[in-house]
Chains A and B, each alone.
Chain A
């Protein structure tokens, strides 16, 4: 039986999601592989692999190591670059009836600005700025740990694009609420909490680091409680929507993040294990709403009872 509930999220002016469930950048490539698995039109939004101005080769192997309830990755933001994306991938993604959110990053301010400028074209519904990747030597995370640096960077990007601008924050920030506030102040339309947590694994037999890059970013259910806390803290500080990300693996997790204050969520690591999880989790949300007599899912956001 079809349950008549409203899962729509009006995330930002001009960016409406048919449900709050999106993928996390870097676990979905550019959508082609997953389109062979399920109909991508069911997604609340599709977030691309993080793009840089020029193609990026990424880190040496091994790039992946499993940890209890999660994994550490050190892919190093391998990507085809903004221009190749616009030429070869965007058209394909546009066939699916869901917003395409393009994730991008830079090693220096001008690169962020130029990426944002080039990506501000028809077919791109919003931009997600990665200021928090632990896997590249220069750039990335240093922008996401100091509120003043972040403010200056977001301001510059804001100046060149009218697209909805989402800033993806690092859990490393001393005070994530402060970072969220800086992003909002500089003109961000939403923030994502959180990127992976810098981490490491060592092989005691060889005395060597397990990852080619020595360190990487921890993700998966292991980090869910941390992500949930950051969503809670950030959403109380800012008026713009917060997107929750970190270890989400069920519709129950989605509801928890929304109660904490998330307007939408991103699912990453879990979909590497369960490629069919998106339809399951989206259906699970509808069923949850039916069970709890919730007509519109927007009514769940930030409604944690204290």
Chain B
């Protein structure tokens, strides 16, 4: 873990309230695993007082990429940073995703602000099927970059139907796990195929024989739904959790989550957890 001074290279609006931030770091942030995050100090004075956690979207050639949505004062202040401005980055923090075992096929599910760790993982693995959900087309960021991830199918879902499949991203997941390998629905088909099957576990077993691992990051309800689908299909499932955080490195116990082995800190023991370990609310 390092605390690096960084210069803003780019801080560009890429979707509704959503910005792509590129930082040049004064020093090497070190090796990182997809799923890890950084804590960014937005101001050198004490307002805002705490750093903000952001999933790592990518890191290459000394440039750290972060995608964030303006949600409160801290991110609002961040959105007003210009090229040349200084920020301080603590990281990489937390544990990353565990990679697929032998022939496991990865499915990725991201909703809302959950894109960065999922994007980073899909870029790393370069295989499988990435499913992205948003409220509306205006909220979808990095569509071209997602489509350009090598050897990976991409599906988009919007709640209002303004782009891709209409509905929830977990609707698409449900549909996709019902098809065997090689029969994964393509983006084009999904756009027109809005009839959903209520699948039973039996149907699921009949249709799908390949081992599957599902990675998810997004709103709590989306994660829980993803886990339910994964469980029915006997797929492994890893989720990236969010919680209010103060330190980001495990000392304050502000971000604990209940698991089958007791309280775990999202920042230090996570943010990636096996979905089966979480005690879902």
Which residues on A are within 8 Å of B, measured CB to CB? 26-29, 33-34, 36-37, 49, 57-58, 61-71, 73, 75, 78, 220-221, 249, 269, 271-276
Q: Given A273-B41, A275-B90, A33 and B46 touching (CB < 8 A)?
A: no
Would you call B46 and A62 a contact (CB within 8 A)? no
Given known contacts A69-B49, A221-B49, A28 and B251 CB-to-CB distance under 8 angstroms: yes
A37 to B50, CA, bound (A): 18
Indicate whether A272 sits within 8 Å of B255 (C-beta atoms), given known contacts A61-B243, A62-B243, A70-B49: no
Q: Which residues of A contact B41 (CB under 8 A)?
A: 273
Beta-carbon nearest neighbor of A55 in chain B: B262
Interface residues on B, range: 20 to 34
Taking a contact as CB atoms closer than 8 A, the residue among A36, A64, A68, A249 that contacts B252 in the complex is: A64
Which among A49, A58, A269 is the interface contact of B256 at CB below 8 angstroms? A58
The chain B residue sitting closest to A29, CB to CB, is: B251
C-alpha spacing A49/B246, complex, angstroms: 16
Please, how many angstroms separate the alpha-carbon atoms of A62 and B253 in the complex?
A: 11
In the docked arrangement, what's the CA distance between A269 and B251, Å?
A: 11
Give every chain A residue within 8 A of B256 (Cβ-Cβ): 58, 61, 63, 78
Give Cα A65–Cα B255 distance, bound, in whole angstroms: 11
B-side residues, CB < 8 A to A, are 1, 3, 41, 46-51, 74, 90, 243-247, 249-257, 262-263, 268
Q: CB-CB < 8 A to A62: which residues of B?
A: 243-244
Residues of A within 8 A of B246 (CB): 64, 71, 73, 269, 272
Of the A-B pairs whose beta carbons lie under 8 Å apart in the complex, a sample of 14, sorted by A's number, is: A27-B247, A57-B263, A61-B243, A63-B253, A63-B256, A64-B244, A64-B255, A69-B49, A71-B246, A78-B253, A269-B49, A273-B51, A274-B3, A275-B3
Contact of B49 among A58, A220, A271 (CB under 8 A): A220
Are B251 and A65 neighbours in the complex by a CB distance under 8 Å?
no
What's the dominant secondary structure at chain B's contact region?
A: loop
Chain B residues with CB under 8 A of A67: 49
A58 to B263, CA, bound (A): 9
Query: Cβ of B46: which chain A residues have Cβ within 8 Å of it?
Result: 69, 220-221, 249, 273
* In the complex with contacts A62-B243, A78-B263, A272-B247, A69-B47 CB distance below 8 A: yes
The closest CB in chain A to the CB of B50 belongs to A66
* B47 surroundings in chain A (CB, below 8 A): 68-69
CA A37 – CA B41 in complex, angstroms? 17
Is B257 within 8 A of A61, CB to CB?
yes
By a CB distance below 8 angstroms, the chain B residues around A36 are 1
Closest to A33 in B: B250
Q: Which residues of A contact B51 (CB under 8 A)?
A: 273
List of A residues within 8 angstroms of B90 by Cβ:
275
Across the A-B interface, the 6 shortest Cβ-Cβ residue pairs = A64-B254, A272-B247, A62-B244, A33-B250, A29-B251, A64-B244
> Nearest-CB distance from A204 to chain B (Å)?
13
Asked if A37 and B249 sit within 8 Å, CB to CB, the answer is yes
Contact A276 B49, beta carbon cutoff 8 Å: no
What is the CA–CA distance of A17 and B246 in the complex, to the nearest angstrom? 28
Q: How far is the CA of A264 from the CA of B249 in the complex (A)?
A: 26
Among B246, B247, B251, B256, max chain A CB count under 10 A is at: B251
